[in-house]
Structures are given as C-alpha cells and as structure tokens.
Amino acid sequence: MRLLHEMLSACLAAVLLACASDPVALASERYRATRDASSLEVICGALRSGMTRSEVEGWVGEPAYSPVPGQDYYASDRRSPEGIYGLVVEYRRLERDGSVTETDRLQEFRCEAIGE
C-alpha cells in the first residue's frame, strides 16, 4: 500500500510540474479565471485546425456567445474602439456545393476585435 501511495504521489507531482511548465496550461488557467487578453493570445498561438471542440473548450471553457451553431466567440478583458478583443472559432465547414456543415473539429479561428 505504501508503494502505491508513493507511486501516486510521484505521478501527481509530475503532472503538477508539467502543468506549471506548460505555457498553454498556465494561459488557459489564467484566461478561464480572469478573461485576460494576453493569456488568450498565448492560447490563440497554440490552436490548430483539426482540434476537437472538447480540446478547444478544455483550454478556453464555454463560449461567451454563439451567434450561429458551429461558431463560438470568446471575449477577453481588452476593449478598443473596434470592439472587444476575442477569439472566434469556427467548427463549420463550407462544402463544395455551398452548403455549410457543422463539425466537431476546429476549421478556422482568429483572434481579433469583435464588434459590439
């Protein structure tokens, strides 16, 4: 039993150390707590097309707003005359016939001022 406890403690310490040294994990934690724009920029730099919705939401949480199914907005604490700085994610794919299909995979994303 003692060996199991020591092994679990070592695994927990390794996970905590990995999270502490991972800039995306730190940015995710800070963004989710404070909506910090600098943290959102770090996350934007790490996003990749093809990520699952659950992976994206694992970093940024639930969206602040979804104007249409498959498009989500994440707001930050930065304001400007152009709007609120935020992340816009698209899970919608434009098909060859012009139709739009909602997917569970990140198709496009951009960090920009979102007009109010």
Report pLDDT digits (tens) over 2-58. Answer: 554 454 444 444 444 455 579 999 999 999 999 999 999 999 999 999 999 999 999
Q: What is the mean pLDDT of residues 60-75?
A: 96
Give 36's contacts (C-beta < 8 A, 6+ positions apart).
Answer: 30, 76, 77
Q: Which long-range contacts (CB under 8 A, 24 or more apart) does 52-55 make?
A: 52/104, 52/105, 52/106, 53/91, 53/104, 53/105, 53/106, 55/106
Tens digits of per-residue pLDDT, 41-53? 999 999 999 999 9
The residue extents of the domains of the chain are 2-114
As given in the structure block, the two tokens for residue 116 are 């109010």
Q: Give the type of residue at 107.
A: Q
As given in the structure block, the two tokens for residue 36 are 């910090």
Q: Where are the alpha helices (DSSP H) in the chain?
A: 2-21, 23-34, 37-46, 53-60
What does the longest C-alpha to C-alpha distance in the chain come to? 63
